[in-house]
Amino acid sequence: AQKVTQTQTSISVMEKTTVTMDCVYETQDSSYFLFWYKQTASGEIVFLIRQDSYKKENATVGHYSLNFQKPKSSIGLIITATQIEDSAVYFCAMREGGGGYKVVFGSGTRLLVSP
């Protein structure tokens, strides 16, 4: 069964620094999709970035990037030049390939960015 684990409950950083959030996953599938979502203070959940398992290059979108380490079943989210508005809860998620469409989430990491 697929499983996603985020062990960091909360992280506090100063503005304009770089932060990395950890995520490890378990799956029996050779093909899968990995995602990071952000939940803002208002409760809204939005998609940030994804990594397809067959792609070797780490995904990058704006100041978000991923550190995909397939042998370690790890998909870290890196936020560079953090801003106050990056303060939120970040969820890692996985969908298995092979025709399945079940999407499971980790427990989330709360990020606080201070001025």
| 104 binds another protein, rule: CB under 8 A | yes
The dihedral sign for the CA sequence 43, 19, 47, 101? negative
Q: How far apart, in whole angstroms, are the C-alpha atoms of residue 73 and residue 85?
A: 29
Minimum distance from CB of 93 to another protein (Å)?
8
Position 76 contacts another protein (CB under 8 A): no
Q: Are 41 and 104 in contact (CB under 8 A)?
A: no
Between CA 6 and CA 47 the distance in angstroms is 17
* Residue 107 sits in the site that holds another protein (CB under 8 A): yes
The residue with tokens 């985020």 is 6
Contact between 93 and another protein (CB under 8 A)? yes
Question: Which region, judged by CB under 8 A, interacts with another protein, from 11-19, 63-71, 73-81, 99-107?
Answer: 99-107
- Residue 75 or 93: the one with the smaller Cβ distance to another protein is 93
